[in-house]
Amino acid sequence: MRIRLSILGASLCLFAGISSEAQGPGRGNTAQKWPPVRRDTTPGFVIREPLVIQRCGECHKPDSAGRMERLSYLRKSPEGWEISIRRMAALVGVGLQPSDARTIAKYLSNEQGLAPEEARPARFDAERRQLDYRYTADARTEGTCRACHSMGRVISQRRTRDEWELLVATHRAYYPDVDRQTFRRNGFGTDTGANAQHPMDIAIAHLARAFPLRTNEWATWSATMRAPRVDGTWLLSGTEPGHGAFTGRLTITKSATADDEFTTHATYRYVDDGKTVTRDGKSVVYTGFQWRGRSNEVGMHADSAWREVMFIEPGWQSISGRWFKGGYDEFGMDVSLTRLSTGVPVVAAVTPRSLRAGSANQMLTIIGANLPAGLAANAIDFGPGVHVDRVVHSGGDSISVLVRVDSGATNGARDLFVAGASLRSASVVYDKVHRIRVTPQAGLARVGGVNFPKQFEQFEATAFNNGPDGKPETADDIEIGPVKAAWNLEEYSATFDDDDVKFVGAIDQNGKFTPNIDGPNTKRSGNRNNIGDVWAVATYQGMKARALLLVTVPLYLRWEPWKGAP
């Protein structure tokens, strides 16, 4: 291992001293002095944290002004700085106590982080959402970077042009195969003229222009950045795939030792089955708005820990994000927090959300906080064609009503107004379910359970109305919401005599797929393991929809684990 790391370190220094221009067609490798001469004259950030200077300064030499080589010329999300610190510890041998690592990560995240406008487009990456994000600003750059990792990792950084070049050089040192995969033409591309650029050079030029070190957004935000005042009681609401909507309260208490550290106590109830959960947690808020926490279910094993990644909106009145867990962060729920004030009504959700046109006596529950008692039916307004016939209960955290919908009511989302509070798109009116869709449409699971953790997959069936044009999959389609479907697996016939469905695992009636254990499997022909591809099929009111599910091997190597403390 020492020999491999020594070779890797030598390669890194070699490639880091080679500019991308020196790698152009017909040019030899021209080594530069270290540290390199910076062509991008954008001033870096002065680093004042003694621990950063002490523990990082041996390699990242500071100049007379206090700007440290490499470190002063980039900005990142908290996850980006965590990855860098872990890489230095694993590959360069920097020895850090956990408390020192947290201090360094917090300082760099706060002093060289992202403004809210910069972080928002990339928040899906920190929230570990499995979605097909498309970067539309430059398709060629996306093709170069997305071949190996999410674009969220790229767009959550800001660098000088020199640093973007050095980042590419670092990739080439760590992973030499990228040259033939995406970084250089090597005869694979169609643009092979004398003046043609390598894909990596095109990406560097775009990233340096689109994501520079200094921006107006960061200058404005950093000038007034402060620890958020979020202590108090919040209305907690959201949805969890496979389990439905939930609502409750979350109390945030500021730490006695740091203004940006908090403890939390949450109690919430699932609407469908009435299950109540209580969680206690701790969190850190980076850069004045990036909530990173961890909470455990009270009375449960430590395996009940959930990561919390949330975005505090300017004004400190609302917070939203994702709480997640699992060996691959695959289980999660969307969370919204609304600050509560004494006596001020707040509406969080309506369940069930869908309203069938031409039907009466539909029981709805309006969920919120500080809702008044003794409400009259005409104080609740869902819009034209929807009539509240009777208020069954009102007061506290909920209002129960019986609703009648005209047969000619217009299909679509309806805003709710009640007791001075409102909720946009609280319900949706529909006359017919035309089709259902399974999400995710391409699922991924990994066998495990013996030497590596399993990766589960949670599917969900959602109903749709085709909208005014009557055609499916068009812009005017109306999403009615999740439905309780029946689930099964079917064979995806990729090879002759395919039998994957017998061995890959099982799906339950909540849409949760559990993969089989690691192979090899003596009961399978050729003692093969339990991987394969199948269809996850949902059936609802005679309609069927399916999604492809790939069940593959464990992720044997994870260079950048996400399991650190907040």
Query: Residue 418 falls within a domain, yes or no?
Result: yes
Q: 220 and 350 share a domain? A: no
Question: Structural domain of residue 107, as residue ranges?
Answer: 2-224
Q: 469 and 522 share a domain? A: yes
pLDDT category of residue 25 using cuts at 50, 70 and 90: very low
Domain count, the chain: 4
Q: What single letter denotes the amino acid at residue 496?
A: F
Q: 396 and 521 share a domain? A: no
DSSP element (H, E) containing 138: none
C-alpha 536/C-alpha 52 separation (Å) is 50
Contact 438, 534 (CB under 8 A): no
Q: 268 and 367 share a domain? A: no
Q: What is the CATH number of the domain that holds 450?
A: 2.60.40.10
Which neighbouring-strand residues pair with 368?
Answer: 347
C-alpha 410/C-alpha 425 separation (Å) is 14
Q: 450 and 360 share a domain? A: no
Q: What is the mean pLDDT of the chain?
A: 89
Task: Summarize pLDDT for 464-521 with one digit per residue, the tens.
Answer: 999 999 999 999 999 999 999 999 999 998 888 789 999 999 999 999 999 999 888 9
Tokens 């995406």 map to which residue?
182
Q: Which residues of 135-148 are buried (b: 16+ CB within 10 A; e: fewer)?
A: beebeebbebbbee
Q: 520 and 392 share a domain? A: no
Task: Summarize pLDDT for 527-558 with one digit per residue, the tens.
Answer: 889 999 999 999 999 999 999 999 999 988 76
For the chain, report the end-to-end CA distance as a whole number of angstroms.
30
Which neighbouring-strand residues pair with 264?
Answer: 252, 281
Query: Which of these three, 198, 224, 250, is where a domain ends?
Result: 224
Q: 53 and 197 share a domain? A: yes
Q: Which residues contact 462 (CB under 8 A, 6 or more apart)?
A: 436, 437, 438, 439, 479, 480, 481, 482, 483
Token couple for 413:
């989302």
Query: Residue 558 falls within a domain, yes or no?
Result: no
Query: Residue 340 falls within a domain, yes or no?
Result: no
Q: 132 and 8 share a domain? A: yes
Q: 195 and 275 share a domain? A: no
How confident is the model at residue 19, as a pLDDT? 39
C-alpha 211/C-alpha 441 separation (Å) is 32
pTM of the model: 0.88
Q: What is the DSSP string of 484-549?
A: --EEEEEE---STT--GGGTSEEE-TTSEEEE--SS--TTSGGG--S-EEEEEEEEETTEEEEEEE
Task: Summarize pLDDT for 377-395 with one digit per residue, the tens.
Answer: 999 999 999 999 999 999 9
Q: What is the CATH number of the domain that holds 281?
A: 2.40.128.120
Task: Summarize pLDDT for 343-386 with one digit per residue, the tens.
Answer: 899 999 999 999 999 999 999 999 999 999 999 999 999 999 99
Q: 107 and 196 share a domain? A: yes
Whether pLDDT at 178 is above 60: yes
Q: 364 and 446 share a domain? A: no
Query: Which of these three, 224, 253, 273, is where a domain ends?
Result: 224
Query: Residue 119 falls within a domain, yes or no?
Result: yes
Query: Which of these three, 224, 257, 290, is where a domain ends?
Result: 224
Query: Residue 145 falls within a domain, yes or no?
Result: yes
Q: 128 and 87 share a domain? A: yes
C-alpha 566/C-alpha 306 separation (Å) is 11
Token couple for 55:
């523990």
